[in-house]
Amino acid sequence: MPETDIAQQRFGLAPRKGDAAGEAQVAGLGSAALTALLCGELLLRRGFAHRSLGETFGAALERVYVTEFALALLLPGALFLWLRRRPAVPGLVPLVLFLIWGAGHAVAGFTHGEAGLVFRQSALAAYASFYLLGAIYFANAERAFKRAAVAVLGTAVALALLDTIAHALLDAAPLRGLENLYFGQCTLAAGVLGFGYAAVCVKGWARRKACLLALALLLWRQAQHVQSAVALGLVAAMAGLLVLGALAAWKAESVNASRCATLRRSGALAAALTLCAGLSAFVLRGGEAGRESAAWNPSLYSQALGRYEAGKLEESARDGWPRGRGPDELAPEAARLYAALDELPSPSAKNNAWRLLVWRCILSDGLHGHPIRGAGVGRAWRYEALSVTNYFSGDPHLGLDSHNSYLALLYRYGVVGIALLVWWALAWLRAVWAALRRGSDPWLEGALLFCFYGAAFASVTVALEGPAYAVPLWLAAGLAAARSGSVDFRERADTI
């Protein structure tokens, strides 16, 4: 008797008559709810993710927010399905340990920190639960997986159209509730990768033309919101799939026509998007675009760090100290910050150098504070000298975001937290690589593109802390895990 069946009988979980229908209903409702949540996060972003249920259902639910409410509502159903079906969830043990580690820090945070900051900062670990939801609710659910993928692509097109209308009809004013700059970091990028890959995979010129038309719209709107973080994510997405495709082709379980399909498709996508980027850079060269392109020059930042190390504050500079503050004990550090940042040629270059200095500071604090267990949650992290400069625009009470989720994780949860996340990532990569070795699957590869994009994006943003970024990323990883474990993998076609 299979080991799973023995365990089910031992704990009284053996399937009974009618259970299959109930399980299917729970799985269907859960996958539909996750798809709706995913589209809401991508379309309305913070306006949806941070929406209080009290706005609709009364003051009693004022502190209950959409994302956290959905997580609490869906976790029991996921546990029920896992106990009944025991679907394969790559990296289950390290991820559960990571969640327990984060919960332990949250409990400790309530004893010495501020409750509001505990909830806010604990999201870095808690949102990983969406990986479990995606992997369980979409396990062996091919139709639900495809509906979610199509819904995401439709959301990206809808947002691009709304963005176009906002600029054409409302004199460049963003539509209310839509953040004009930041949705381009996640939603439009997901659409660019999705439609770009679909154009490579679909059968028939009619469908391919539709994909190319949508891709052109998304690239046009993405060009209006281009940022270094987006370019880095797109490059990482294509490079990640290329490497995985090459490894899968090298170690394929059988020699057949599809063994190099992943590599061939990812290469075609990389070539096409690189060509588009090159043409855009050629057309937009000079002016502001030329100044922004200078932000990719590494020598700028080595020079900026040199000015930082040698920075001095003249006495005359104190008269115009920003925001009317400037205690003497912060003067040398603030002077170094101004020396590093003021002479950079563009806003993007200033932003990048600012992040480098923030990363340097939080890494130092993490390594010299509590490197093994981390600093925990409940207290704000501050870069005091930066807070008195014109380069800080946040809420002093909340402290400063690290703008690098991995450094934030190291600082909050220590080497133990990082090690658990790496353990999970290796188990997840092993599962998807094994799936690609068994056969080619464009749907899985499309999900992997967004996973690689999000992983790189998190290295320069707060992508694992903010729900508008974290929920799509963790759900995409969960959907990829569910797809890689589907029983009918060998029978999948090479085209969509």
- 89-103, 325-339, 448-462: segment of lowest average pLDDT: 325-339
Ramachandran category for residue 313: left, alpha or beta (phi over 0 → left; psi -120 to 50 → alpha): beta
DSSP per-residue string spanning 102-134:
HHHHHHHHHHHS-HHHHHHHHHHHHTTHHHHHH
Ramachandran category for residue 285: left, alpha or beta (phi over 0 → left; psi -120 to 50 → alpha): beta
Residue 167 CB-density burial (10 A; 0-12 exposed, 13-18 middle, 19+ buried): middle
Report the percent of the chain where pLDDT is more than 90: 32
Q: Provide mean pLDDT across the span 292-299.
A: 65
In a domain, 192, yes or no: yes
Q: Provide mean pLDDT across the span 227-243.
A: 85
In a domain, 176, yes or no: yes
Residues 157 and 221 sit within 8 Å (Cβ to Cβ): no
In a domain, 307, yes or no: no
CA distance 275 to 361: 38
CA distance 19 to 290: 63
- Among residues 330, 354, 336, 334, the alpha carbon closest in space to that of 344 is found at 354
CA distance 60 to 74: 21
In a domain, 477, yes or no: yes
pLDDT digits (tens, 9 = 90+) for 176-192: 444 455 677 889 899 99
Number of structural domains, the chain? 1
Residues 189 and 152 sit within 8 Å (Cβ to Cβ): no
In a domain, 30, yes or no: yes
The CA-CA-CA angle for residues 338, 408, 72, to 5°, reads 135
In a domain, 438, yes or no: yes
Give the pLDDT band (50/70/90) at residue 495: low
- pLDDT for 277: 61
The average confidence (pLDDT) of the chain is 80
Other beta carbons within 10 angstroms of residue 22's beta carbon come to 12
| Virtual torsion, Cα 475, 477, 483, 486, nearest 10 deg | -100
Say yes or no to pLDDT of 43 above 60: yes
In a domain, 99, yes or no: yes
Token output for 313? 């504050």
- Helices 187-201 & 228-250 angle (0-180, nearest 10): 40
Q: What's the domain range around 446? A: 3-288+405-491
Give the pLDDT band (50/70/90) at residue 38: very high
| Virtual torsion, Cα 253, 255, 260, 261, nearest 10 deg | -90
pLDDT digits (tens, 9 = 90+) for 69-86: 999 999 999 999 999 988
- pLDDT for 490: 45
Residues 77 and 30 sit within 8 Å (Cβ to Cβ): yes
CA distance 378 to 382: 13
pLDDT digits (tens, 9 = 90+) for 152-164: 999 999 988 888 8
Highest-confidence segment of 197-211, 357-371, 444-458? 444-458
Report the percent of the chain where pLDDT is more than 70: 76
In a domain, 358, yes or no: no
pTM score, whole prediction: 0.87
